[in-house]
Amino acid sequence: MAIAVEKPEKADKVQPAAAAPAARKVSRRMASAAILVAWLVLFVVLRGRQTLTLAAADLTGLHHWLNDVNDTIGANRNSNPLFLYFFNEIRLAIDNLVTFVQSLISQPTGSRPVPQIGWLGVVGLTGYVSWAVGNWRVALLAVAGFTFFGLQGLWQESMDTLALTLSAVFVALLIGIPLGVWAGLSDRFNRIMTPFLDFMQTMPAFVYLAPLTLIFLIGGASAVITTVIYAAPPAIRITAHAIRSVPETTVEAADSLGTTRSQQLLKVLLPMSKRTVVMGVNQTIMAALAMVTIAALIDAPGLGKTVVQALQSLDVGTAFNAGLAIVVMAIVLDRVTTAAAGRAEAARRRSGRLLKWRRPLLVAGGVAVAVLVYLSHTFVWAAEFPGNGTTGSHIASVADTTTLWLQDHLSGLTNALRDAITNGLLNPFQTLLTDSPWWLVGAVLVALGAVLGGWRAGVTAAVCVGLLVGTGLWSDGMTTLASTAVATVLVMLLGAVFGVWMGRSLFVDRLVRPTLDAAQVMPPFVYLVPFLALFGATRFTAIVAAVVYAAPVAIKIIADGVRNVPESTVEAATSAGCNTWQIITKVQLPMARGALTLATNQGLIYVLSMVVVGGLVGAGALGYDVVAGFSQGELYGKGLAAGLAIVLLGVMFDRITQAAARRTRA
């Protein structure tokens, strides 16, 4: 009967709906403006009071307590049963896996001065596998890429990165694919998993590191564990999505033929989702590579470590060389797995003759690779990469020279740009945020959340503000917030311009999209290097890197939103005599409102994660707190609290923008 009562209400609501949105939209915009004006007025009056600033070396009670927790855990690591029988076991298992893979390709073991498989074997194996799962073109790319690592003088670092990535991907898929299949089959399990996956993917990669070191210490094993946590969600999500998107008719048809559940899974669902699952593997590998490089902060070996050390000493040349190696590895891994995903389709189109030759060729290739592996296992010339990485030092010196030249000749331009944005946009905004009383900013955040996203988002914002104050890092949080907000505004400007352009022109779309795709697979780290060269170690560098990192995703979302505006609507507007500008501003952008909000959401999250990485190059604030926490024992608790503060900011933004997106769509 409850339903019977509810029904007429719904019917009533439908009627005035036509009039309501217009009225509500105006009032929402006015309310936001009123909040901002009130903030400015109160800021002038109350400036500099109750700002909760905390000096870099100062600690709060919470930070001391976290330090103590860390010490306690360190002391009882081998006596606490939870650690003894659970965490330590996990660590041990992962450690064995990592050590094993490292001993194969990167680290010397036992009496051998070189790893089991030398460069020749690895290059051969990589080429062979790339050819077998993909095609000969990506195989050539892979061979060239891996040889390049050796020429750069970064063979061992590259292999360490590869070893960690492969171990992490292996574990992530081992966990992720079964869970994904389960989530694909069971609605209930899917409902349970979704919030966890959402949460894990919202978090900047960075923040996993601190709490995990608490449990798993630092080093390769915890790098892999962190990476697994970061890289498994895409595998789970995409597998579940693949299973779910098998057409209902096909499942029903199989059902009508009397398949059992396992037949259904093995013969229908899994084969039909294979291609998508391989795309999930691609995502997992890219996420893993990104995370493995960042895990250099917790002492993971590999290219990331080289970059971090170089960044900390502002050695642009070395950072560039290692960053280039990361980019090359990202491209190779991405191309190979993308080709593997396309293979299933391509293979069956091919003529039978080629297929007939494929098997003997595979066998022959396998034998050849076995010989290469044997050679590289036995002879030093095939085990250690010849030469001493002169290409690498050459690249480094060219990068250094270029940097110097740029700094000499372009400093006027880059400095002007930097100062314009820093003084014109960033500083005032940061002052507004950090110099207002904390309760004022908090109230503004809660009010904006409530106005834009509804009362639930308001409550979330209130809780986050409260906890943020509790971390003792309010002022640093506001500094980070200012950088994030400025970067997001820039991202949205770029996103709107390029997104509309791409959405309106298929040609531009085809031209720009591959670049965006490529930009998205890069580990966030490498963005810092060129901008460090141009702008030096400042907040602005971090902001530019964040904008470049976050813009592709925003552009793509907006482009798709504009593209999805029905052709007939645009046609109708054109026939009514709209000019191009009117069509964009009055038809396409308003109708892509949902996409705009979604782009803001994604842009914010991406920017936030990058602004934090910017802590490495002088962005200060929360990012610096986290980095310092890893390197200095007495700041450990503060770093952990900073990580928490980042999570809180992330959750707050995510909730508000998502709620706003839901409301604009409704």
Partner 1 sequence: MTPAQTEVSQRRDTSQDPQDRTPVISVRRLWKVFGPKADQVPDSEELCGLTRRELMDRTGCTAAVRDVNFDVSPGEVFVVMGLSGSGKSTLVRCLTRLIEPTAGEVVFEGEDIRGADPKRLRELRRSKFSMVFQHFGLLPHRRVVDNVAFGLEIRGMGRTQRTKRALEVVELVGLAGYENSYPDQLSGGMQQRVGLARALAGDPDVLFFDEPFSALDPLIRRDMQSEVIRLHHEVGKTMVFITHDLSEALKLGDRILIMRDGKMVQCGTGDELVGAPADDYVRDFVKDVPRGDVLTLRWIMRPAQPDDALDGPELGPDVVVREATRAVLAAEKPVKVVEDGKLLGIVGDEEILAVVAGQEGGV
| Positions that interact with partner 1 (CB under 8 A) | 3-4, 7, 247, 249-260, 263, 267-268, 271-272, 274, 344, 348
Nearer to partner 1, 24 or 267 (CB): 267
> What are the angstrom distances between the C-alpha of 506 and each of 501, 502, 509, 512?
9, 7, 5, 10
Strands (E), 274-329: none
- Could you give the angle at the alpha carbon of 26 between the alpha carbons of 498 and 551, nearest 5°? 20
Three-state secondary structure of 146-176: HHHHHHCCCHHHHHHHHHHHHHHHHHHHHHH
- Could you give the angle at the alpha carbon of 615 between the alpha carbons of 646 and 459, nearest 5°? 15
Q: How far is the CB of 133 from partner 1 (least distance, A)?
A: 17
Residues 245 and 260: their CA atoms lie apart, in Å, by: 20
In one-letter notation, the amino acid at residue 607 is V
Nearer to partner 1, 1 or 17 (CB): 1
Per-position DSSP letters for 253-273, written without gaps between them: HHHHTT--HHHIIIIIIHHHH
> Which 8-state DSSP code applies to residue 438?
H
Sequence-distant (6+) residues with CB within 8 A of 343 are: 133, 134, 135
Nearer to partner 1, 354 or 413 (CB): 354
Q: How far is the CB of 263 from partner 1 (least distance, A)?
A: 5
Q: How far is the CB of 278 from partner 1 (least distance, A)?
A: 13
Q: How far is the CB of 169 from partner 1 (least distance, A)?
A: 25
The token pair at 89 is 């076991």
Nearer to partner 1, 78 or 260 (CB): 260
Q: How far is the CB of 349 from partner 1 (least distance, A)?
A: 9
Nearer to partner 1, 280 or 614 (CB): 280
Nearer to partner 1, 251 or 375 (CB): 251
The token pair at 119 is 């460069």
Nearer to partner 1, 188 or 349 (CB): 349
Nearer to partner 1, 9 or 567 (CB): 9
Closest C-alpha to 522, from 302, 287, 316? 287
> Which 8-state DSSP code applies to residue 423?
I
Nearer to partner 1, 4 or 18 (CB): 4
Q: How far is the CB of 247 from partner 1 (least distance, A)?
A: 7
Q: How far is the CB of 245 from partner 1 (least distance, A)?
A: 13
Nearer to partner 1, 256 or 579 (CB): 256
Sequence-distant (6+) residues with CB within 8 A of 598 are: 557, 561, 661
Three-state secondary structure of 469-533: HHCCCHHHHHHHHHHHHHHHHHHHHHHHHHHHHHHHCHHHHHHHHHHHHHHHHCCCHHHHHHHHH
Q: How far is the CB of 259 from partner 1 (least distance, A)?
A: 5
CA dihedral 611, 613, 615, 621 (to 10 degrees): 50
Q: How far is the CB of 108 from partner 1 (least distance, A)?
A: 45
Per-position DSSP letters for 54-91, written without gaps between them: --TT---HHHHHHHHHHHHHHHHTTTSHHIIIIIHHHH
Q: How far is the CB of 281 from partner 1 (least distance, A)?
A: 18
